[in-house]
Amino acid sequence: MLPATRRMASTLPRSQSSAALTFELLGKCSTTRARASILTLPHGKVNLPIFMPVATQASLKGLTPEQLEGTGCRLCLNNTYHLGLKPGQEVLDAVGGAHNFQGWNHNLLTDSGGFQMVSLLKLANVTEEGVRFLSPHDGSPMLLTPEHSMSLQNSIGSDIMMQLDDVLVTTHPDKARMREAMERSVRWLDRCIAAHKYPERQNLFCIIQGGLDLEMRRECCREMVARDTPGIAIGGLSGGEAKDDFCKVVVTCTELLPELKPRYVMGIGYPEDLVVSVALGADMFDCVWPTRTARFGNAITKHGVLNMKREMYAADYGPIEDNCGCPCCRPIEEEGALGITRAFIHHNAAKETVAAHLLTLHNVWYQLNLMGKAKEAIIADRFPAFIKEFFAGLYTDKKDYPSWAVDALRGVGVDLLEASAD
Amino acid sequence: MTVDVDIEEPGSSTAMRFEVLKTALKDAAAAARPGRLSFPTRRPIETPNFMGVTSRGCLPHLTPDNVTKYIQASGAYMSLEDFIEKPQQHSSRVPPIYSTPTSSKHPTPLHSFTGMPSFITTILGARRIPAVPSPMGNTNKSISVFTNTGFQPLTTSDYLSAVNTLKPDITIPLSDLTNSNITPNSKRALRMAERTEDWIVDWFNSSSSSSTATFAPVLPISYPMQWEYLTRLSEDYVDNSQLSGLAIYDPSLLPDLPSPLLSLPRLSLSPPTTPHQILSHISLGIDLFTLPFINTISDAGIALNFTFPAPLPSSPSRLLPLGTDISNPSFSKSVTPLSENCKCYSCTTHSKAYVQHLLAAREMLGWTLLQIHNHHVLSEFFSGVRHLLQNGPDEDFEKARNDFLRAYEPDFPAGHAEKPRARGYQYKSVGGGEPKKNKPAWGKLGPDADGNVEGVETPVVPEGKEVEEKGFAEEVKE
């Protein structure tokens, strides 16, 4: 086998541009399918792989835009369904879009609104026209179409928009319905492309559906790729399926996707899931879990999730995580360090909003830093070692490694259980 | 023109300095006076001024980095009862705050435990402001305090050792207060004065070389009831610099203070509820205020917008509002700042429409932005007061005070924002059966919605015909 660095040097970097996006591949892992790249969007560059925190209602859970910027975040999510209700399209048009509205000068990604329809409104019913649902207020029938979703996302002005898709839980038993949903999502993508008003300044991503049926996923990949959107999402996952099945879907899709487009796996955020998905060839991830769990008093660390409400932290005067570089944890002598202790978080977790804000800062920083470290490791072509270090930090005993992760990584050439070489 | 209350000398209790900037006013009993209160390594406090009121060691909704960047207030009031709860399963634990290590950035345990920036001057009292009345009375050696886990006694010696450990810049020794609106009868009032006097004597006998300045309580009872106590303060503790200031529970007593006490800085613990009252208390000679109303006003969704001196009236017949209820849906498209011409972070960066949205969506950032703005408005207000007091003849301030009274409405507008959840330590049910403050944010949507498991979204339910009006979806004509 040729030395990895030489092989990469001969073929990289390579890039590909569309109207409002440039994807530049910086490096590829010579063992796994992991990639490091730079994505240039209308509001600036972001490094991939990336975790995108979720500012559901145009605010990242108590942080000012400056504090979010301070975590290194340059791309976050807003939810179209929530912004469509509050403040609503008219207000968004009046204030010139969601960037202006929330004082965020970096990139935004919005979902289509369809997922919240289906997950929050039990009476929703999907037809070829769109998502039908009963207004929870007066019970009158309402309809959300791909055209509505595009119009609203155009008003929001997000840098990356998602198509409206027909989302089913991956564990849906009815294969015929699953096929219908997949095919309908393709038809809806065509309607979304036709309805999209500003392709020169907003990127529309397609979403691959098909449940856990790998053949259906492959078919969907071919159809979606043919429509040449600037980026591609793998959707419908993270809905309760087994992790093994999740990994099979991701690995099946990334195999078929064009190399020079970003790949976004929607709705995942546990650190293990991120690291494994990067190894399987995915680039972008989002999840509310890191910020939500912060509000419940949980800190994400390289040794796992710590519940700061436990009595063991009441008199622990150390930082939330040793050697963490976030504003809460970094050494007190450093500029901007806040000197926050576990004891203080324990004192105020679930009691004062300040504790939630501080843990949110820490958790977002952790997630972004994890992906930043993954990128460095990929470029240095030491990503397999990075994966091993990551799992060794989480579990003291290899027997505890989750079997889905071991199996998925073995599939891309990394054996977590082999004795370390050194 | 500088008058040192406290000259550093061996055995002196503290390095606090208080200067009255107009000598003529130094010993005035009931007159507004400009001054400066300073501690080594803290930001000097120009007076009259206010201190932020903390909850559990935090200025509500403000992380320490935001305090440093956006808050001009130079002091914070903290209550010991916020730190000494006894959790049921760990009732014998030593409150963790007592063992906090310090660092160069956080030089006292109080700063260190709370992450409070070191430029902030700290005041430690036993009770929150305002204090929840206790169903248990005080005893000869202790008062009853309300912690996160319920009422518990706090003895005078416990309090003294807490102060010695935590090293606040200013502390207020225990006083025998009822914390109720009912005026105590003369027997109770007399006992209040006697106990407080006993405790002060103990306090000064036991506190040795503390770095903390002691502000002695002046009780909310009539002067004749506490003249013995006040006389002892003025005769025994002023000349030897053991007493550094006064904590005033009723500003109307200021004209009665014995003259040796007059040069001491005066901290008000009787929270004024409007800027008019603040001005009236300044006229009575209060130097420093604690203003818990800022926190409650921000929680209610109100952005303050008064200035001192008041602007010239555009229409003399209409009173100006003291604040704006930003939760009002009429602001949903307003791209103007919370208050015109305001230079605070919230106003220079965000719009009414955004804050209105945050309040409607119950996003925590809404309260953060209002706290930053409202603290700024009060800082500017006090800065206006000091400017007049320092530069103008004495009558100018009184004239501006009257103009302010005539220009502005007497009260804050009602705020209709849904408030953050209140917990037991902030709020005590009286008699029970109070209605819920906020409407429930969660509800079962369908037969299989399984409640509050982590991972369930907070349902956002469209209101009325909003969905269609906002272009999100259309109504289907069957």
Across the range B9-26, mean pLDDT stands at 69
Number of domains in chain B: 2
In order of A190, A264, B304, the CA distances from A194 in angstroms are 6, 22, 48
B470–A90 C-beta distance less than 8 A:
yes
pLDDT of amino acid A124: 74
State yes or no: is A190 an active-site residue. Answer: no
Residues of B in contact with A63 (CB under 8 A): 365
What percent of chain B has pLDDT above 70? 83
C-alpha distance from A406 to closest chain B C-alpha (Å): 25
Identify any residues that bridge with B19 across adjacent strands, giving them in sequence order.
Answer: B36
Catalytic residue among A245, A286, A397, A415: A286
- At B79-104, the pLDDT tens digits run 999 999 988 888 888 999 999 999 88
Domain ranges of chain A: 49-293, 299-404
Q: Is residue B367 part of a domain?
A: yes
CA distance A155 to A27: 36
Of A94-98, B72-76, B365-369, B427-431, where does mean pLDDT reach its minimum?
B427-431
Note whether residue B90 is domain-resident: yes
In a domain, B225, yes or no: yes
CB-nearest to A315 from B58, B99, B105 is: B99
Q: In this predicted structure, what is the pLDDT of residue A36?
A: 97
User: Could you give the CA distance from residue A357 to residue A60 in angstroms, rounded to a whole number?
Assistant: 9
Q: In the prediction, which pLDDT does B179 show?
A: 86
Fold (topology level) of A49-293: TIM Barrel (3.20.20)
Q: Domain boundary residue among B272, B292, B317?
A: B272
Q: Residue A16 and residue B135: Cα distance in Å, rounded?
A: 73
Task: Decide: B404 and B101 in contact? Cβ < 8 Å.
Answer: no
Q: Are residues B70 and B211 in the same domain?
A: yes
Helix boundaries (H) for A74-156: 80-85, 89-95, 98-102, 114-120, 146-156
Work out the pLDDT band at B416, boundaries 50, 70, 90. confident
CA gap B106, A343 in Å, rounded: 15
- Among A331-340, B77-86, B372-381, B451-460, name the one with the lowest average pLDDT: B451-460
Residue numbers in chain A where pLDDT is lower than 50: 1-10, 422
User: B397 and B351 in one domain?
Assistant: yes
Task: Provide the whole-model pTM.
Answer: 0.91
ipTM of the complex as predicted? 0.94
Q: Is A304 annotated as a binding residue?
A: no
Domain co-membership, B307 together with B401: yes
pLDDT tier for residue B440 given thresholds of 50, 70 and 90: low
Whether residue B267 sits in one domain with residue B194:
yes
Same domain, B239 and B321: no
Q: Which residue segment(s) compose the domain that B82 sits in?
A: 50-272
The string of pLDDT tens digits covering residues A143-174 is 889 999 999 999 999 999 999 999 888 888 89
* Residue B393: exposure state from Cβ atoms within 10 A (0-12, 13-18, ≥19): exposed
Cis amide prior to B130 (ω within 30 degrees): yes
- pLDDT tens digits along B299-341: 999 999 999 999 987 666 789 999 999 999 999 999 999 999 9
> Residue B8: its pLDDT value, please?
39
Residue B12 domain flag: no
Close Cβ partners of A278 (under 8 Å, ≥ 6 residues apart): A34, A49, A371, A374, A378, A383
Contact A132, A125 (CB under 8 A): yes
Burial of B477 (0-12, 13-18, 19+ CB in 10 A): exposed
Indicate if B123 and B205 belong to the same structural domain: yes
Phi and psi based region of residue A252 (left: phi greater than 0; alpha: psi -120 to 50; beta: remaining): alpha
At residue A12, the pLDDT reads 59
| Residue A422, pLDDT score | 47
- A152 contacts on B by Cβ (under 8 Å): 471-472
For residue A418, what pLDDT is reported?
87
Assigned domain for B4 exists:
no
Residue B4, pLDDT score: 43
Of residues B76 and B7, more confidence is placed in B76
Q: What is the mean pLDDT of chain B?
A: 86
Question: Does B424 score more than 90 pLDDT?
Answer: no
Residue A397 among the catalytic residues: no
Taking contacts as CB-CB distances below 8 angstroms, the residues of chain A near B474 are: 142-143, 145, 148
B362 is a domain residue? yes
Q: What is the pLDDT of residue B3?
A: 42
Is B454 part of any domain? no
Check the annotation: does A138 bind a ligand: no
Co-location of B160 and B263 in the same domain? yes
